[in-house]
Amino acid sequence: MIMGRAFLFWHPSQVVVLGFGLAVTVGTVLLALPAATTSGESAGWLVALFTATSAACVTGLAVVDTESHWSTFGEVVIAGLIQVGGLGIMTLATVFTVIISGRIGLRAKSFAQAETKTLSMTDIRAVVRKVVLFSLACEAVVAMVLAGRFWLGYDESFGRALYLGFFHAVSSFNNAGFALWSDNLMRFVVDPWICLTIAAAVIVGGLGFPVVFELVKQWRHPHRWSVLTRVTVVVTVVLLVGGTLVLLGTEWHNPATLGPLDDPGKFLAAFFAAVMPRTAGFNSLDISQMYPTSWLATDLLMFIGGGSAGTAGGIKVTTFGLLAFVIWAEMRGEPQVNVGHRRLPEAAQRQAISLTLVSVALVAVSTYLLLALTPHSLDRVLFEVVSAFGTVGLSTGITADTGVAGHLLLVLLMFIGRTGPLTLGSALALKDRTRRYQLPEERVIIG
């Protein structure tokens, strides 16, 4: 009874972290079963843990070949973990609560708010319903397009095409990056039906549900968009266009990537490569053969990630955009940070700065540790660490060769990257602390 009462006072972020931990645990047990592999033998706890974490945290990194290692049962488990991770443990829990009881309590609302990042507590039940229905509808449309292409364009049987369509629809909309081919999507590098459909699913899933809902209602009236929507849309477009141009310029003559393609194929492949670091992790080019300059550009895109309250990871385009406004206001000597005709609260500024600095520190420390644990070069290790933290799933090919300690470090990074550094930190705190006094102010020299 005492434990039950204590549970009622848990911070919602604690429940989110525990929920994802439970999903990873269940997924690990299922993937460790002999039925989950094509060989009929257990994959082992480390492989099962890594894959379950990668799927539940919608990352896409893999230490074994998904196509040849996992059975249909194992693939279904992976798809289920991706779906659960994408929608969020608390979102699904709220849906189940509504179905069973027909009503929702304040505590459950706060849990759902912590997961969906909604800005109001007025009607979480309606928000969650929209999130689930919108997600399933998008996945169904993407699945049908992909299934039709696999069936009519690649001579797959109808049943197999449908299975491939639904698996990759779930994987793309939830920004997971798992594919059922050993070369991921490299065989479809110049197929616009496959690449553009998956890219569209990744972008929509990574925008964030509040932004998507507002765009649906107000797409004809940009002047009515909220700060969240404006910043998300503008930064997303800038990153997609900028990323495409940078990768085009860098890889245009690379004989192992864009070099052999015709001009339309190069533009398609570069655009696809610029979309995936939003934290999807699919690749239509051989990442290991890219130039180090392209790896660095991809590192930056992966670290920023996608939109808030969506299926993407990273520090989020909103955080990146708000920091740009903070820097601009400071350079102009303005006492307040304004975005359009709105003033940015100081709490949001502190949160953006804290999240970014914590993320940079985490990436730096993890890169140092992985460098010490493996013989790989700095550029490859940094790429792997940022990919894991940003829940992206792209790799230069060293994931399987990082050793047991390296695998466990990547598992931790993927988990933290999905739950969020600040969410994880607040989950460890038993309660919020407030200071009832203020100290005298003293200016310090900066720079």
Short-list 146, 171, 74, 277, CA closest to 66: 74
Each residue of 29-67: pLDDT tens digit? 999 999 999 999 999 999 999 999 999 999 999 999 999
End-to-end, the C-alpha distance of the chain in Å comes to: 55
Q: Is 275 exposed, middle or buried (0-12, 13-18, 19+ CB in 10 A)?
A: buried
Where are any strands of DSSP class E within 198-246?
none
- Greater confidence, 224 or 180? 180
Provide the token pair at 71. Answer: 């059975």
Residue 339, beta-bridge partner list: 342
Each residue of 82-121: pLDDT tens digit? 999 888 765 655 555 555 445 556 555 565 656 555 555 5
Q: Would you say residue 4 lies in a domain?
A: no
Q: Would you say residue 370 lies in a domain?
A: yes
> CB of 113 within 8 A of CB of 11?
no
Mean pLDDT within 139-150:
96
Q: Would you say residue 265 lies in a domain?
A: yes
Provide the token pair at 180. Answer: 């059922």
Provide the token pair at 45. Answer: 């706890």
Tell me the residue range of the domain where 351 lies.
10-425
| Amino acid 76: pLDDT | 96
| Amino acid 19: pLDDT | 82
Q: pTM of whole model > 0.85? A: yes
Q: Would you say residue 430 lies in a domain?
A: no
Q: Would you say residue 189 lies in a domain?
A: yes
Q: Would you say residue 407 lies in a domain?
A: yes
Number of domains in the chain: 1
Q: Would you say residue 1 lies in a domain?
A: no
- Greater confidence, 310 or 247? 247
Q: How far apart are the C-alpha atoms of 308 and 168, rounded to whole Å?
A: 23
- Relative orientation angle of helices 403-419 and 346-373, to the nearest 10 degrees: 170
Q: Would you say residue 440 lies in a domain?
A: no
